[in-house]
Amino acid sequence: MLAIEVHLLTGRYAATQYNDRSRAEWPPHPARFFSALVAALHDRDPVDPDEREALCWLERLEPDPHLDVDINVDETVGRREVRSVFVPVNDVTLVGDPETEVRRAREILARLEGSEQTNETELQVRNARRALEREEGKLAEFLRSQQVAPTNPHKEDLKRGIALLPDRRNRQERTFPVIVPERSSFTFLWPEAEPGKYLEALRRLCDRVTRLGHSSSLVHCIIVDRPIKPSLVPRKTGEYVLRVVGPGQLERLEDAYERHQAVDPRVLPARAQRYGEPIGQGDLQRPHSIFSDEWVVFERIGGQRPLASRGIHLAISLRCALIETHGEENLPAVLSGHDVKGSQTSQPHLAFVPLPWVGHEHADGSVQGFALILPRSIPPGERTMLMRLLGKWESQRGDKDDDYTLELGTPPKLGRPLQIRIRRVEIPSKRTLNAARWCKPAQRFVTATPIALDRHPGNLRSNVERAAHRAAAEAESTIADACERIGLPRPLKVFISPAPLLPGAQHVRQFPPWPPQPGRARRVRVHAEIEFPEKVCGPVLIGAGRYFGLGLCLPVADLNADQSRRTS
């Protein structure tokens, strides 16, 4: 086992997310820590070959490291409020980067020397070497001129010199997002690794790591030898997407440094890996709904930006497109939801679920993509058939560049035509499309889209002889029955409301009638907050329109945790 413990000396972690500069990165990414070790490797000249060999061994370790980290960082307490700060720009923006031309000349020479040698390339190599010598001479002369102040400075020299003073420099807007975890240490853990001869070299590297992330994020790293229980492990359906490393990472970082020289903009070379909480025996024994956490996710990449109220029509269009690809004959019940006689099947089948952006202070309720959610009890043969059908549909409707960008539109009879472009993704870039966000265990769930009740509760708006009170009680009982219908325990409490209960969710009146077919009885729709007697695993889809995204519920924090935060 190899375990490297990182202590935050200031109790704070300052590092920006790679895809959102206004938010802090948490949990810390293994790729960022590996880069800190590489920086420590190169802080001595010449590089220690034993330390280099140790990092080459570390980057090849499988599986990816586990993490023991505080994952219960509250959004409002653990993350420092981000405010814009205007800071003086670096000197390089005033006098330019004097090494730019030298680096460019070196890159040209290296490229020519690495190509096949001919008479023509040999001439080009000689010219490139002379060009490099000229640029290095210019740089040396420039640096010498900067060491001695001119006896009779020009007006422009005085102006440039005054501009170098911190209080006279131009200022640019910067943000410094910070995480303040309750536990000011975290550990990267390789449970199956045996460092052996690399241990001392890794220990020396850890001793020289002084920061992780921003320069103000001071750390102390040590290799520990004690039993550690990780809180995050690599999981295909995990909630967190972290950057990790692989073979060749050290060389990629060194090559990248040759290009940017810590001056030009750069992107950390890495690959994405999902992480989630370890699955314990308690998780396996928790109640699950009839819907599985095996999702086929399509991300919206272009076209219009529909709200959740239009997502139902898009879900219907997606279902029609798959049925058209299969053909009307011998439709499997897992796809159509009907048996051979055309009656609705009682067995769970494929759900077409638009995923709206809700539950965040800036959420707008827009559909970020779709999930095809398979039933938990689907036979292997039917699952294989669905995957082949999806592949056939993508190949038929995909673009020429094999990006299988797809277009969907709502039938005109269902409203104004709406088209979006979607693409199937293995690891979604948006948290809304992450199955773990909707499937994680929780005791309380709140509707992101309204529930279409299975039976009519009565008049929810009448004040005559407590009619509204009786109707609300009937609606709550109907929702409790719907929870049992999908395999969950009967809720302790159900609270209904016509208004949305999550930020970004829409009012029930903004959704079209359900079912959409004319001539059929319309279902009453309500938003709801549902509390179960124990933690249950989602996804929670309840009500009459559950196979098209109605009654989609988001797991939220436990009530006790919320109350403790409010009273603290």
Name the domain count of the chain: 4
- The two three-digit tokens of residue 410, written as one number: 């709502």
CATH number at residue 67: 3.30.70
Nearest-angstrom CA–CA distance, 241 and 231: 14
pLDDT, position 75: 46
Residue 87 inside a domain? The answer is no
Residue type, 453: L
Residue predicted with more confidence, 339 or 38? 38
Do residue 451 and residue 330 come from a single domain? Answer: no
**Closest by Cα among 268, 211, 182 to 6:** 211
Do residue 272 and residue 247 come from a single domain? Answer: yes
Burial of 56 (0-12, 13-18, 19+ CB in 10 A): middle
Residue 285 inside a domain? The answer is no
Residue 284 inside a domain? The answer is no
State mean pLDDT over 236-252: 85
State mean pLDDT over 25-48: 91
Give the Cβ contact number of residue 436 at 10 Å.
22
Do residue 186 and residue 151 come from a single domain? Answer: no
Do residue 157 and residue 181 come from a single domain? Answer: no
User: In this predicted model, what pLDDT tens digit does every residue of 399-448 receive, in sequence order?
Assistant: 544 444 555 555 444 455 667 888 888 777 788 998 888 988 889 999 99
- DSSP helix/strand/coil, 546: helix
Tokens 């370790």: give the residue. 61
Residue 206 inside a domain? The answer is yes
Q: Provide the Cα torsion 427, 430, 436, 439; round to 10°.
A: -130
Do residue 305 and residue 189 come from a single domain? Answer: no
Do residue 408 and residue 492 come from a single domain? Answer: no
Do residue 422 and residue 301 come from a single domain? Answer: yes
Do residue 78 and residue 99 come from a single domain? Answer: no
Residue 28 inside a domain? The answer is yes
Residue 90 inside a domain? The answer is no
pLDDT, position 355: 94
Can you spell out the DSSP letters for 176-209? ---B--SS-EEEEEETT---GGGHHHHHHHHHH-
- Domain end call among 251, 276, 301: 276
Q: Is the pLDDT of residue 485 over 60?
A: yes
Do residue 76 and residue 197 come from a single domain? Answer: yes
pLDDT-based confidence at 566, cuts 50/70/90?
very low
What's the domain range around 385? 291-429
**Closest by Cα among 454, 452, 456 to 526:** 452
Phi, psi of 110 (to 5 degrees): -65, -40
Q: Which of 51-65, 192-206, 546-560 has the lowest mean pLDDT?
A: 546-560
Do residue 190 and residue 137 come from a single domain? Answer: no
- Domain end call among 138, 159, 174: 174
Residue 453 inside a domain? The answer is yes
Do residue 75 and residue 209 come from a single domain? Answer: yes
- Domain end call among 382, 402, 429: 429
Do residue 500 and residue 480 come from a single domain? Answer: yes
Residue 88 inside a domain? The answer is no
Print burial letters for 547-563: b (CB count within 10 Å at least 16), e (below 16). bbbbbbbbbbeeeeeee
User: In this predicted model, what pLDDT tens digit does every residue of 502-551 receive, in sequence order?
Assistant: 999 999 999 989 988 888 888 999 999 999 999 898 899 999 999 999 99
- The two three-digit tokens of residue 173, written as one number: 């807007």
Nearest-angstrom CA–CA distance, 275 and 442: 18
- The two three-digit tokens of residue 44, written as one number: 């001595």
> Cβ(438)–Cβ(525) under 8 Å?
no
> Cβ(425)–Cβ(297) under 8 Å?
yes
